[in-house]
Amino acid sequence: MTEAAHWRRCSACKTSIALGAIHQVCSVSTCNRPRTGLVFCSVSCWEVHLPDANHREAWAVEKRAPASLDPDANASPGGQRRLVRPAAAAPAKPAAPEEVLIIASRLKDYVRAKAGYNTSDKVLEPLSEIVRRVCDQAIENARRDGRMTVLDRDIPEV
């Protein structure tokens, strides 16, 4: 296969996948991220990655490789390129749900094992509120550091 007709290599057997050729991708989103981008030349090559991937439920999805390496040639219909909205202009996110964040059975098991006490269901809401406040502080610490990921070091000391 000429270099000009080559799109990518199969993630399993490393054979070339031609421009415009049919290939397989995994249905699981973590296999389809831009940095991961697993592509397979056949279903049998897709099956090779399953033992290491440890998916609960997955299937091969048939896709077609781009017809050209030129991004303008692969534009959306009407000759317009699809643009991704920058994060600053993204619409506001809906308010966080005010659900119970504590697993009742685990909390009750802990209190029973630690002190032999029973635990009322009414403690779940106040504890959830405390967890929300700690998470809000951790989010603010991550934002201040310019990160979009909350790390363990962002959680304030109690």
The DSSP result for 51-108, as a single string, is HHH--SS--EEEEE--S-S-TTTTPPGGGPPP-PPPGGGSPPPPPPP----S-HHHHH
Last residue of a domain, one of 69, 87, 113: 69
pTM of the predicted structure, to 2 decimals: 0.44
Is 91 inside any structural domain? Answer: no
Is 99 inside a domain boundary?
Answer: no
Q: Give the Å distances, CA to CA, from 92 to 96, 123, 145.
A: 12, 32, 21
Same-domain pairing of 113 and 65: no
5-30 pLDDT per residue, tens: 888 999 889 999 998 899 998 888 88
Residues 7 and 65 in one domain: yes
Residues 53, 7, single domain; the answer is yes
Q: Report how many domains make up the chain.
A: 2
In a domain, 78, yes or no: no
Question: What range does the domain containing 42 cover?
Answer: 3-69
Residue 63 lies in a domain: yes
Asked whether residue 96 is domain-assigned, the answer is no
5/65 Cα distance (integer angstroms)? 11
C-alpha triplet 151, 155, 156: angle, nearest 5°: 150
In a domain, 51, yes or no: yes
> In the prediction, which pLDDT does 89 show?
45
Which tens digit of pLDDT belongs to each residue from 113-139?
999 999 998 999 999 999 999 999 999
Element (H, E) at 8: strand 6-9
- Percent of the chain surpassing pLDDT 70: 81
